Amino acid sequence: MTKTRIQNLNIRYYTPSPPNPILNLIHMDRGSSLDDDTSVHLQINELRKLSETCGSNTIFEPQSSCEARECNAESVPSAPVLRAPEKKLTLFALRLSIFEKSATGLGTLGFIWATVVLLGGFAITLDKTDFWFITIILLIEGTRIFSRSHELEWQHQATWSITDAGISSFRALRSSSHILIKAVKQTFNPLSLIRKPSHNTREVTQVDHLHVGRWNHSRTPTRTWISSDVPLLPYGKWVFLSRNISKVLYWLQLLSATACVVLSSTRLVNHNYGEVQKGDSDKRNRQSALNIFYALALAEALLFLTEKAYWEWKVIYCKLLEEVNKECELGPSGMVSIKRFFYDAYSRCVNGSIFDGLKMDMVTFAIDLLASSSPDEQLIGARILRQFAISARYSDDTLQKIGVNLSVVERLVEMLNWKDPQEEEIRRSAAEILSKLAGKRQNCLRVAGIPGAMESISSLLQTNRSSGDGADEIGEKNLILDHANYSFWTFNHLGLLILKKLACDHDNCGKIGNTRGLLPKIIDFTHAGEKLLRDKNVAPSQILTVKRSLQLVQLLASTTGATGKHLRKEISEVVFTISNIRDILRHGEKHPTLQKLSIEILTNLALEEEARERIGGTGGVLKELFTIFLNQGMPEHQNQVRRSAGEALAMLALESRANCHRILRLQVLERLIAGLEFPMLRVTAARILRNLCTYRGSDCFYLLKGVIAAAPTVLKAIMSEENKLQEVMVGLAAQVFKHMTSNESSIMFERAGIKEEELAKALVQILEKYRHPSAKVPRIRRFTIELAIWMMHDNVKNVYIFKDLGMEKELEGVLETTAELESFNIFSGSVGLSRHTTAIHSLVETALNLLKDQ
């Protein structure tokens, strides 16, 4: 009866256009607007976000543990506490159960009164009319009271599998009750008569098609019966389906209550129970007993009808279910979920304590459904959790409840492996929930810690690379497009999104790298050909796929420690990694965000010597990096891309004679020297030039002879700048002057308008300023001492100048404060890489010996 009442509602859905899963995923990705039709400021915002994520730190500086890995894990500010919409339903269920239990109590009391007092004490003396009235009332009410549990069972079975057939039959049977309800509503709201009759019909038809289309994809059991579809009799199957019997019981309930009101009222009004002879003690109390019985029956029936009237008022007229559904943001299909939740709450209040239903909430309800073996229940549970997880109002509370329940997380991970097309929506919902769950830092390890989680997430990624004909070739990658009945690209996006959020944790990066076949899959998604990158009408989802895969690879490549070293080796060994990045650098001028991510990947991979040689040996990579770095025509908002390209080139030239030779063959030396004049390029250009001078090898000495033209600019910068720019210029000067004779160096000092005494004073002041190593400029003291040593070797007068300036004292101070921080060229987090061949204390001793010997 209860659930039937829920079904017999005149529900009017307001159906928006069906959501596009791909567009939803694009909105889920923060800053993912890469479409060429969007305004330029969106691109600027993306590049700013990338810049803020990386901060001002680079691999040339050590980073603390909190700075080493900034990630865009969601940290949504705490939203104000909102009242759960389902509280309205549980409160409604509580009030209904009070009516129901009160009516049932009165009915039970009346039944006992009739059987014990009337039929037991006055059975012989009752008039024929009262006897049959009492008998009929007892049969009606007794059947209703003692069959209550069975009635609820019928209703339960009738509503726990609402498939397309169930919905259609519900629509068909609803028409009879709809006429009555419509008449009542028109009495209270005459304006409803003005509505166009065709609008509601069209609306309901659209909803029917929507529901049927969605539910057709749900898997139904093949080896067992669905309880609501069981034909109880071989004939008249539609009438005798269990889900339709509950509808019959609903109307029988109303008829029985109405009959009780009519019968009991008639007898109470007539008050004709037969004459009692004077002195007849057997019939003395008969009238009072009958009055009590008919009053109890009338009160019970009126309470029951009051309950029904309150039910119909709240559900049909006030549209309570639609209101809660709207507040829960569950959409048109959510009405099924709301009905089931309400029915469960009402059943608990009726069958147990009236307060049992108040303990229910939608999230716990959905979690219980998710663990069910019924496909329909699984789908409803997944839909509710998905919607609550992506809702700005309810996501925090929902994700907290899911995150602390390990069995639920395991269930969601398990669902990622469900590849049956009929289970597509369940699988997609589970993936979306996990993508939101992984965005919370405290849940990252929980998700990744589940056995087989990475393999399950990997199953979302579909890259169809055919196997080669032999060991001497690799299969060709075939693009998998969405099938008519399955959205492969949606799952690709979700898989990459989950992995990207998990990769924010260092330990998870190791698990991703150790998952068999996962890295090649990820790198396959970084492929973007010329047609894709230059097409003005390219689908945003395709660019989003490339972006997410690049973000993921960038996170993996930037991992620190032994795990990072292993990952960089694995990534660089995939033969498509560098060539895919080269294509983005070459053709991706319309997508600077993709270019910046690609360049950062190269920079991180170049931390490993073997990968550094692979990158430099891949045709066109160095050329494309210089094209970006030296491109004066790039918009100002893309300067961050140019700066990243410069850092990548500096890394590739570090300790690599082959790469230095390749760079010099590109004939970019003059343009690099010119770059020292531009504020945005100065630091990176100086680093590239210094590494070229340091690691070029003896065979390239004359190719670098032109670098002496940079000396005046370098000297001016040393005298006027400070911090990072001063550090790189001092380091460059120490190498540039090695390519000059004493006469040439004197000429350069004159061109710069700076005397050697002034430079010497500036160097001493640098050592005075940095009495202890600085994490921001870890090499400035080393470079200063190197330049001072060259000056003392170049001109004996400089020795006396340094002595007079107190250089000896400063050097002794450096000797007392040297640290490992000053021993490395680059850093991976707080771990130093590429140790300098000469220790800083050896440089100090050399400088002191020069001062003392002279």
- Residue 163 CA to residue 369 CA, distance in Å, equals 16
DSSP 566-586: HHHHHHHHSTTHHHHHHHHHH
The whole-number average pLDDT for the span 723-741 is 89
Point out which residues pair with 70 in neighbouring strands: none
- Label residue 284 by pLDDT band (50, 70, 90): low
Is residue 834 within a helix (H) or strand (E), and if so which, with residue range? strand 831-835
Residue 86 has pLDDT above 60, yes or no: yes
Task: Check residue 5 and give its pLDDT.
Answer: 39
Task: Check residue 602 and give its pLDDT.
Answer: 95
User: Bigger pLDDT: 243 or 619?
Assistant: 619
- Residue 835 CA to residue 693 CA, distance in Å, equals 17
Q: How many CB atoms lie within 10 A of CB 351?
A: 13
- Label residue 255 by pLDDT band (50, 70, 90): confident
Domain ranges in the chain are 84-162+231-271+286-360, 361-446, 758-853
Tokens encoding 618: 């891949």
Is residue 464 within a helix (H) or strand (E), and if so which, with residue range? strand 464-465
Tokens encoding 106: 């009165």
Range 361-446: architecture per CATH: Alpha Horseshoe (1.25)
SS3 486: strand
Contacts of 270 (CB under 8 A, 6+ apart): none
- pLDDT tens-digit map of 737-778: 888 888 888 888 899 899 989 999 999 999 999 999 888 899
CA-wise closest residue to 310 among 86, 145, 10, 97: 97
- pLDDT tens-digit map of 130-189: 777 877 877 777 666 655 545 555 555 555 544 333 333 333 333 434 444 444 444 444
Residue located via tokens 């990548």? 648
409 close to 365: Cβ distance less than 8 angstroms: no
The whole-number average pLDDT for the span 510-538 is 90
Percent of the chain past pLDDT 90, that is, above it, reads 29
Task: Check residue 767 and give its pLDDT.
Answer: 92
DSSP annotation of 371 reads T
Task: Check residue 482 and give its pLDDT.
Answer: 52
- Strands 464-465 and 477-478, how do they pair? antiparallel
Task: Check residue 9 and give its pLDDT.
Answer: 39
- Residue 466 CA to residue 401 CA, distance in Å, equals 43
DSSP 692-723: HHHHS-GGGTGGGGGGGGGHHHHHHHHHH--H
Residue 611 has pLDDT above 90, yes or no: yes
357 close to 341: Cβ distance less than 8 angstroms: no
Tokens encoding 396: 């925090």
- pLDDT tens-digit map of 113-130: 777 766 665 555 567 777
Cα 542 to chain centroid, rounded: 18
Residue 455 has pLDDT above 80, yes or no: yes
DSSP 292-350: HHHHHHHHHHHHHHHHHHHHHIIIIIS-HHHHHHHHHT--TTHHHHHHHHHHHHHHHHH
- pLDDT tens-digit map of 360-381: 999 999 999 998 888 888 999 9
Task: Check residue 704 and give its pLDDT.
Answer: 78
552 close to 599: Cβ distance less than 8 angstroms: no
SS3 493: helix
What's the whole-number average pLDDT of the chain? 78
Angle between helices 609-617 and 592-605 (to 10 degrees): 130
- Residue 320 CA to residue 159 CA, distance in Å, equals 19
Task: Check residue 417 and give its pLDDT.
Answer: 92
Point out which residues pair with 465 in neighbouring strands: 477
